[in-house]
Structure 1
Amino acid sequence: MEMKDLFPGYYRLSKEEFAELWGKCVFILDTNCILNLYRYNEETRKDFINVFRKIESRLWIPHQVALEFQENRTTVINEQENKFITIKQILNTEKSEIKGKLRRFSVNHESFLSKLNKLFDEFLEEIKLIENQQLKLEEQDYIRDIIDDLFKGKIGEPPTKLELENIYKEGEERYNINYPPGFKDKQLKKQKQEQKQEDAYLCNGMSFRKEYGDLILWKEILKEVKTRPWTHIIFITDDAKEDWWRYEQGKTIGARPELVEEICKAGASIFYMYTPERFLKFSKEYIEVDVKEESIQQVEEISAIRNDLLNESLATRVSKAEQAVLRWLKSEYPDDEIIQSPNRKIDFLRLTEDNSKIGYEIKYMAHHSMSRMLQSIESYITNFSNLELDELQVILITNNYVYGKALQRNLMDNIQKTIAKCAMMIQANTMNQSIKNLGVIIGVLYSVYDNGEFTETTFDPMKIIQNMDMDMEGM
């Protein structure tokens, strides 16, 4: 047996093999390749769908992909609606900051501010036009109609209950030795339990455990390769984790060799993986379809944003949140001294010119359930002690990519109810410590993806609940 037959995953395909692959293969898509159709602008989406139409007879998706698509579709639609809120918040915040800074100087700035207002208003009108074209959750989902048509009769059969049980048993053994795919998700179950979130999709009377989602779809692919005359496979995935890809010194070499070996043993001759942007790029060459460079660029940016957010550790996100709040405090109160609390009972301490001590405690709540957020707030504001402050502000930071407008409104309403429910305990606690004011600030984080990387994370306060009087005021 030749070396290449023993270790097929370590060899790059020749030009002739690539041409053969594209001419004969079945194209299999991962879940986010489909969900991203909601994230792309209209022109990029049209380009992608045109490519799919060109290869329509050779498309196929595992049942697991179809299930994950249905379960996550509404969340992605909400994300897109929410991004327009974020853009407007950024513009309004920047405009207010520019106006405030200019008014400190004794120069004739009214003419400039008038032009600035016109520029911002024109941009907001453009944003509004794009927003009006965005699919709303309550509208007929024309994108799903296209997806349903594309994959009619091209979806795998669901695994049996016994097959799922065997996958979970084998998955535990594979994950213990970091055998791909899916081992990077082995912490998912623990995180879901800590955050009191569902760790499985329920369908057809069966529980599809999320930490084994990648392995389930992989096993579906292997089953099809064994039972069908599929010898050439292209798998398109937006997942950049190392349990799918082989990396060397930061460069993507290709699919994990273990995956290539496993699928070749199942009966495939050639297996190759593409990211969505590279799939579009090579579609121009191999299936002669017109794809705009702007579309390829947007696909690459969307994938980079998703993977950066997904792969970022919770500790990193908390650190970014704290630094973003610190920058906000320094810009809001340039004449005050703002330091990290010496005793770490709070995150930041602001010392004012009149010697008041104002503390800030940050609660980063990305991916937590509503009940978890409220429990955290209630626990903190009724149990803090020995702070030696004049005022305490609890800053609750939500993940703007997850929570839509409706959830943010519900969150604020529920925070008010939580505060009202334990008002007597809060008042007793604050009086015992001579704290004159206890407030809650609700805000979001955002950063802009520019030239291949994220800009500095910014904190944008949305609402303030001041002094336990239940009055809400906008920033």
Structure 2
Amino acid sequence: MNDLLKIYRDSNQLDFEKIWKEGTFVFDANVLLDLYRLPESAKNDLLGVLQNDNFKDRIWIGFQVFLEYLSNRLSVIGDQKNMFAKVKTATLSTIEKINTINAEYKSEIDNHKLSQRHALINPEHFLNDSSFKKSTKIFRKFVKHLEKLEKQQADVNDSDKLRDLITTIFENKIGSTLTKEELEDIYKEGVKRYANKIPPGYMDNKKDGSYYFKENEYIRKYGDLTFWKEIIKHAKKQKLKYLVLVTGDVKEDWWEEKRGRKISARKELLNEIYTECPDLEVFYLYNTSSFLQFAKKEIDNNIKDSSIDETFKLISNYYNERAIKIGDISPNKKEYLKQLYSLNQSISTNHLKLQDVNSQLSKLNLYRDNLYEKSNPLDDIRELAHNLAYTEEEYTEEINEIQNRLNLDMEIQKRLIEKLKLEE
């Protein structure tokens, strides 16, 4: 009965404090490759978490992941470099279109001979060569900006400092390669699993090609399944109690989805890993964005929503109990209560802002996940999904700013309450 309930429990039944303090966090290849795609500050945030003293000893990647990362690293770097040419071409093409539209518009207006035939209509006052040049000037300015950025973008022949850093971060935290016999057994099992759509990996059934290392062939379409088997082997050997997989993969062969939202790992995965690993209490999934959002809260000790709620209620109750007596109290108490009231309003406002921005970030994460799910790695829409990381970064920065203000207000309130108690 307990095993069954463990598979079907809700996330609100999990002890996330223990998971973040004691759990082993496993990362897939997409997370490592996304480090090349993320904006600089978001990339540094993620790298900072991986190197955090309270976290760095509890991270791990499978051999399959490291092999995929090394095999695809140059392609991602090349894609990032090539994107400049694509965007530049699109921008220059738009400039040409604006010039063409301007010429066509002028020709059509000239045919109407407005200056001779109409007393009021004068398009030259609004739409002239100068106004069109202003619009194209913005595009040309963007082209120059792109050219400057392109010089900063690493290319495939450049020294890859990020690879060196990732290798250092995961030194002695990478799984050993599976034997040839183990891989062959996985591939045989994969044929049956994929035919019956048993997760993970069946969504990659059309992938071609292989990676090679020594005598082993790593067939690409069985990459997720191989990685999954590595995770189970590692969890079982280490007798892990809490295990979290952080993945950039949002396909249905990993995630349980309800009403358009990815809520947990597939039940088949939970059943398999809990059966194979009797010591494991929790297996949990984060996508990269959710991991970074919660890592900032848990690893950096940022303020929790529950703490905001509790403080808000405490201060509200304390103020309300004494507000009716404000005329009968000492000047010091009166001043402290006035300050508490002001801080209370600030906390209330910022709390609502925090909820709103978190909601917007969640919607953006869901939208980005859906873009990934409906696209292939080389699709232009996939690039749009990666570019949404810029907006995610802005939301995350805004969340941090609001949380910092709340932290400061709460510290001040704490001191004011202490002063009030001394006045009692």
User: How far does residue 124 in structure 1 lie from its aligned partner after superposition?
Assistant: 1.7
Does residue 1:309 correspond to 2:358, yes or no? Answer: no
Correspondence for 2:411: none
Q: How far apart, CA to CA, are the structure 2 residues paired with 1:448 and 1:219?
A: 29
Matches within 5 A, 1:373-412: none
Correspondence for 1:151: 170
Q: How far apart, CA to CA, are the structure 2 residues paired with 1:80 and 1:51?
A: 24
Distance 1:244 1:280, change over 3 A: same
Does residue 1:246 correspond to 2:312, yes or no? Answer: no
User: Which of 281, 284, 292 in structure 2 is aligned with 1:272?
Assistant: 284
Distance 1:250 1:178, change over 3 A: same
User: How far does residue 114 in structure 1 lie from its aligned partner after superposition?
Assistant: 2.8
Correspondence for 2:19: 21
1:281-311 CA deviation, whole Å, 9 max, x = no partner?
11122212679x89x7998887655443228
Correspondence for 1:201: 211
2:173 counterpart letter in structure 1 = K
Matches within 5 A, 1:132-143: 132-143=151-162
Correspondence for 1:257: 267
Query: For the Cα contact (< 8 Å) 1:167–1:215, is it kept in 2?
Result: yes
Q: How far apart, CA to CA, are the structure 2 residues paired with 1:450 and 1:84?
A: 13
User: How far does residue 447 in structure 1 lie from its aligned partner after superposition?
Assistant: 7.0
Distance 1:204 1:289, change over 3 A: farther
Does residue 1:229 correspond to 2:229, yes or no? Answer: no
Question: What secondary structure, in the 3-state scheme, does the structure 2 residue paired with 1:253 have?
Answer: strand
Correspondence for 1:100: 100
Structure number with the higher helix fraction is 2
Question: What secondary structure, in the 3-state scheme, does the structure 2 residue paired with 1:117 have?
Answer: helix
Distance 1:248 1:400, change over 3 A: closer
1:256 counterpart letter in structure 2 = R
Correspondence for 1:88: 88
Q: Which moved more, 1:93-102 or 1:280-289?
A: 280-289
Correspondence for 1:346: none
User: How far does residue 202 in structure 1 lie from its aligned partner after superposition?
Assistant: 1.2
Does residue 1:110 correspond to 2:129, yes or no? Answer: yes
2:158 counterpart letter in structure 1 = E
Correspondence for 1:64: 64
Q: How far apart, CA to CA, are the structure 2 residues paired with 1:301 and 1:145?
A: 33
Q: How far apart, CA to CA, are the structure 2 residues paired with 1:303 and 1:74?
A: 24
Query: For the Cα contact (< 8 Å) 1:84–1:127, is it kept in 2?
Result: yes
User: How far does residue 91 in structure 1 lie from its aligned partner after superposition?
Assistant: 0.9
User: How far does residue 97 in structure 1 lie from its aligned partner after superposition?
Assistant: 0.7
Q: How far apart, CA to CA, are the structure 1 residues paired with 2:381 and 2:258?
A: 31
Distance 1:15 1:283, change over 3 A: farther
Give unpaired runs (5+ residues) of structure 1: 193-198, 312-366, 368-398, 403-445, 453-475
Does residue 1:282 correspond to 2:290, yes or no? Answer: no
User: How far does residue 8 in structure 1 lie from its aligned partner after superposition?
Assistant: 2.2
Matches within 5 A, 1:311-460: none
Aligned length: 311
Question: What secondary structure, in the 3-state scheme, does the structure 2 residue paired with 1:285 have?
Answer: helix
**Percent of aligned positions that are identical:** 31
User: How far does residue 451 in structure 1 lie from its aligned partner after superposition?
Assistant: 8.3
1:131 counterpart letter in structure 2 = E
Distance 1:175 1:400, change over 3 A: closer
Q: How far apart, CA to CA, are the structure 1 residues paired with 2:385 and 2:97?
A: 18
Hey, which bits of structure 1, 4+ residues long, moved more than 6 A?
Answer: 296-302, 399-402, 446-452
Question: What secondary structure, in the 3-state scheme, does the structure 2 residue paired with 1:38 have?
Answer: coil
User: How far does residue 208 in structure 1 lie from its aligned partner after superposition?
Assistant: 0.6
User: How far does residue 257 in structure 1 lie from its aligned partner after superposition?
Assistant: 1.0
User: How far does residue 63 in structure 1 lie from its aligned partner after superposition?
Assistant: 0.2
Give unpaired runs (5+ residues) of structure 2: 107-123, 304-356, 390-424
Q: How far apart, CA to CA, are the structure 1 residues paired with 2:210 and 2:27?
A: 21
Correspondence for 2:186: 167
Q: How far apart, CA to CA, are the structure 2 residues paired with 1:151 and 1:300?
A: 29
Correspondence for 2:144: 125
RMSD: 3.0
Question: What secondary structure, in the 3-state scheme, does the structure 1 residue paired with 2:243 have?
Answer: strand
Question: What secondary structure, in the 3-state scheme, does the structure 1 residue paired with 2:211 have?
Answer: strand
User: Which of 10, 13, 32 in structure 2 is aligned with 1:12?
Assistant: 10
Query: For the Cα contact (< 8 Å) 2:38–2:386, is it kept in 1?
Result: no
User: How far does residue 253 in structure 1 lie from its aligned partner after superposition?
Assistant: 2.1
2:50 counterpart letter in structure 1 = F
Distance 1:205 1:300, change over 3 A: farther
Q: How far apart, CA to CA, are the structure 2 residues paired with 1:280 and 1:208?
A: 30
2:104 counterpart letter in structure 1 = R
Correspondence for 1:441: none
Distance 1:447 1:145, change over 3 A: closer
Q: How far apart, CA to CA, are the structure 1 residues paired with 2:70 and 2:148?
A: 28
User: How far does residue 20 in structure 1 lie from its aligned partner after superposition?
Assistant: 1.1
Q: How far apart, CA to CA, are the structure 2 residues paired with 1:58 and 1:302?
A: 28
1:97 counterpart letter in structure 2 = K
Distance 1:282 1:209, change over 3 A: same
Query: For the Cα contact (< 8 Å) 1:66–1:155, is it kept in 2?
Result: yes
Correspondence for 1:431: none
Distance 1:130 1:303, change over 3 A: farther
Structure of higher CA gyration radius: 2
Q: How far apart, CA to CA, are the structure 1 residues paired with 2:56 and 2:128?
A: 59
Q: How far apart, CA to CA, are the structure 1 residues paired with 2:162 and 2:169?
A: 11
User: How far does residue 9 in structure 1 lie from its aligned partner after superposition?
Assistant: 2.4
Query: For the Cα contact (< 8 Å) 1:103–1:109, is it kept in 2?
Result: no
Q: How far apart, CA to CA, are the structure 2 residues paired with 1:76 and 1:49?
A: 18
Query: For the Cα contact (< 8 Å) 1:201–1:209, is it kept in 2?
Result: yes
Query: For the Cα contact (< 8 Å) 2:98–2:136, is it kept in 1?
Result: no
2:128 counterpart letter in structure 1 = H
User: Which of 34, 37, 40 in structure 2 is aligned with 1:36?
Assistant: 34
Distance 1:299 1:48, change over 3 A: farther
Query: For the Cα contact (< 8 Å) 1:277–1:300, is it kept in 2?
Result: no
